A and B are shown apart, each in its own frame.
Chain A
Amino acid sequence: MRIFQSSTTSVGLLVLVLIFILLIALIVVFSHQILINLAGVDVQANIVAYVVAIAFPLILLGMIVFQIVRLIRERATRKPGSRFKSRLIMFFVLIALLSSIPQALLSVRFVNSAINFWLEARIGEALRGGLAISLEYYRGAVENLRKFNSSPLMSFILEDMDRNPERMWKNVRTVNSEVQFIQIFDADGSELLFRGEPQGRLRSLGTFDEQTGDLPKEDREDASILRNAAVYRLDGGSYTVVVGRVLPEGFDSQASSLTESLEIFSQLNRYKRLFRLVLIFFYFFFSFPIFLLSILVSFLLTEEIIRPIVNLEEATRRVAEGDFSFRILSRSADELSHLVGSFNRMVSELSHSREKLKQSEKISAWQEIAQRLAHEIKNPLTPIKLSAQRILKKYSADSGAAAGEFQKVLQASISSIVREVDNLNDLLVEFREFARLPMPRLQSVHLRELVEEVVEMYRNLSSEVTFDSSHISEDSIVRADPGHINQVLANLIRNAVQAMPKGGEVSIRSAVVNKEDRRLCRIWIKDTGSGIPEEIRGRVFEPYFTSKADGAGLGLAIVERIVFDHDGNIWFETQEGVGTTFIIDLPLGSEGGI
């Protein structure tokens, strides 16, 4: 079994990074556009903004609650790593809090200071004072024109209007230097005279609703013009006299900006407390989702950090329980990945050693039994055989003439005893060979040559079985004892041939494979026989177990032992009615080692 020490949380982290970028974008857009227009007439138009603003933190909060519930459940079920995970999350949250609290305090303080600074009473006084001065100046100018135009002196000055208009204009300027132009209309509204600043000239009096008194200020791009109109009756005629002045350049724009500044100041001052609260609210409104996001990231990061540790813990527990097939797969390339690799190698070596130990223990036990059995059987065999031979010899010598029926029976029986004793003796020799199998003398050998040698031998013995060894490459070199491997191949090929009494095919092929950091030569020996029945599959490598009538049951036990002695492995795949494939892994040899 394998578990992945994978990085599925990386996807989650990527999603959170994207959410973070989205949040930043929202903050930028919100603060620059949406917030400014949020107070527009149509609340419904801003419904999307409201929904996003409310739903976003709620979604994040929901995800965090889900993670917390999951963590509580993990702790309740004592899931490996849950306590460590809790501590890590607490640690991350603490870091997030430690970094955000001073920032929040600083921001609130900054907002307060900024508002207090900009709304200092002196600034208000200065703005109002500026406006008062400006108004005083303006009203003074208007008053001056009004008084001058309604003064009796003006009637005298106007008497020169027809006779000497230049002198009249000179007198006006002498009496009131602030008057910059004069324009006189007759009763029909037609202009009779204009002197002074050309900017002040009116095309007609009809522009104004009220044609006497203070005329409305005329604002132009480059100037503002003040006028006062009065009606005079001279020499039986009625005249409208307009006097005026051009305000200094920039007066109007400066007065406007002063009014606007005062408006802003008054608003800020009026809603100071509320505005301060709103700013602080919006600070938390934007920073709270970021804080929630950081907590969510801490959950995923913790998961990422803890996963290999949990996997290792799980693997260690499984190995301790005897499951040596457990492996951890890691895609990352950090220190934890090296740790996982080392763990996997350790388990693999442990598993291999354990298998070898089991095999050695099994073989030793059977060797001991075999030796004792051979000794126990062999001891009485010799006297039995000698006694039988002696009886037969004595009987033949002493009663040579009295041969009869008894002689025949006795002779046949004793011959049978001797023959069976010989058979038993041969069996015991085989037992002893198994018990005394020597250690292999390893060298690099060409697998193809070994296979060809054995196949050639069996090809001559069986004409109904065909052999295919063409899939063994020339460069398949194994590190092995040639004699032992020859015995292995011979045993397996003989079994394959015997499994196909009506003929079939034995195919042998090899390939180089990588297995747990080892490079091995894998050999497949496949027959098309009847397959191994399911009930005996677990016993085929046991010594003295055989399904054949005349077998000693040591062939596959010897094969397994030889393969293990070569630091290899053997197993089989079988299907009844289809055939059996024995698979052997042997260490690779080298060309130079031959």
Chain B
Amino acid sequence: MILLLLASTALSAQEARLDAMLRSGKVYAAVDYLDTHFAERGVSASQDVLASLWEGLRAEIAFQLRLYRRNSGPFAFLGDRLLSERRVYQIASFDFYENRYRIQRDDQTAGEYKGEAEFLDAFFSLPETELGEIETEEREDYYLLARVRMMPVKIIAPLNIITLFSSDTVFTTPWVEAELNP
């Protein structure tokens, strides 16, 4: 089982870009999933998503954000302190009746897009999202981590068990770190 789990995490190099901002003491983060070409499958992530949508399937992208405070002093070995964490999910589908792409977010908002490019931009991006409040003077003590988990096919339960055993159903980027920009 361990081998299978390892296999499921052996993915092509995925990347995400994280922008962290501090405004009026509030921490915001914006994340972009960078379109990747899957050499072993001969398609890019965006092509994979579009193909699955046209097949009547849905795609899912999850953005995971973490705000940390650096731990210094004698207890530094305990690691940095996690202050807040957010996960944002976006589910994309194609409306065959309207010939439109739809994005349903977990905050119950939705978007509709006619063009592929604008749909992909919206789907692969997380707009500025608030993560918490900190003291502005201590900005340098904080940093953010983010990663993206993209499923070209959102696998429904109980089929989603197979994501544990398959390496081409879920694509997860490594954690990316960003300092807080004023």
Contact = CB atoms under 8 A, between A and B. Distances in A.
A267 interface: yes
Interface string A240-272: 000000000000000100010011101110110
A409 interface: no
B87 A259 contact: no
A131 B95 CA distance: 12
Interface in B1-60: 1-2, 5, 55-58
Interface in A265-287: 266-268, 270-271, 274-275, 277-278, 281-282, 285
A255 B57 CA distance: 15
Nearest to A251: B97
Contacts of A41: 62, 64, 87, 89, 149
Nearest to A252: B97
Contact of A278 (B55, B89, B149, B165): B165
B160 interface: yes
A261 B62 CA distance: 24
B56 A263 contact: yes
Contacts of B58: 263
B149 A216 contact: no
Contacts of A271: 155, 159, 162, 166, 169
Contacts of A262: 56
A38 B164 contact: yes
Contacts of A267: 57, 153, 155-156, 159
Given A271-B166, A278-B165, A53 B1 contact: yes
Contact of A42 (B87, B160, B161): B87
Interface size class of chain B, counting residues whose CB lies under 8 Å from the partner chain = 20 to 34
Contacts, number: 76
Contact of A135 (B96, B153, B163): B96
Contacts of B100: 216
B159 A275 contact: yes
From B1, B97, B155, B165, name the one whose CB has the most chain A CB atoms within 10 angstroms: B97
A281 B1 CA distance: 9
Contacts of B56: 131, 259, 262-263, 266
A401 interface: no
Contacts of B149: 41
A35 interface: yes
Contact of A270 (B5, B96, B153): B153
A539 interface: no
Contact of B158 (A36, A54, A216, A285): A36
A187 B133 CA distance: 49
B107 interface: no
A317 interface: no
A278 B156 CA distance: 15
Nearest to A255: B97
Give the secondary structure class of A's interface. helix
Interface residues of A, number: 32
Contacts of A275: 159, 161-162
Nearest to B100: A216
Contacts of B112: 216
A39 B87 contact: no
B78 interface: no
B163 A39 contact: yes
A11 B87 CA distance: 48
B13 to A, nearest CB: 19
A35 B165 CA distance: 13
Given A42-B64, A263-B57, A135 B97 contact: yes
Contacts of B117: none
A289 to B, nearest CB: 13
B16 to A, nearest CB: 14
Among B149, B161, B163, B165, the one with the most A-chain Cβ atoms within 10 Å of its Cβ is B161
A48 to B, nearest CB: 15
Contacts of A37: 157
Given A42-B64, A259-B56, A266-B56, A278 B161 contact: yes
A217 B97 contact: yes
A264 B97 contact: no
Given A39-B163, A54-B2, 20 more contacts: A35-B158, A38-B160, A39-B155, A39-B157, A39-B161, A53-B1, A131-B96, A135-B97, A216-B100, A259-B56, A259-B96, A262-B56, A263-B58, A271-B169, A274-B165, A274-B166, A275-B159, A275-B161, A278-B162, A281-B165
15 contacts: A38-B164, A39-B157, A39-B160, A41-B87, A53-B1, A135-B96, A216-B100, A255-B97, A263-B56, A264-B156, A267-B156, A271-B166, A275-B162, A277-B165, A278-B162
Query: Top 5 closest A-B pairs, CB basis?
Result: A39-B160, A39-B163, A36-B157, A41-B62, A262-B56
Interface of A: 35-39, 41-42, 50, 53-54, 131, 135, 138, 216-217, 255, 259, 262-264, 266-268, 270-271, 274-275, 277-278, 281-282, 285
Interface of B: 1-2, 5, 55-58, 62, 64, 87, 89, 96-98, 100, 112, 149, 153, 155-166, 169-170
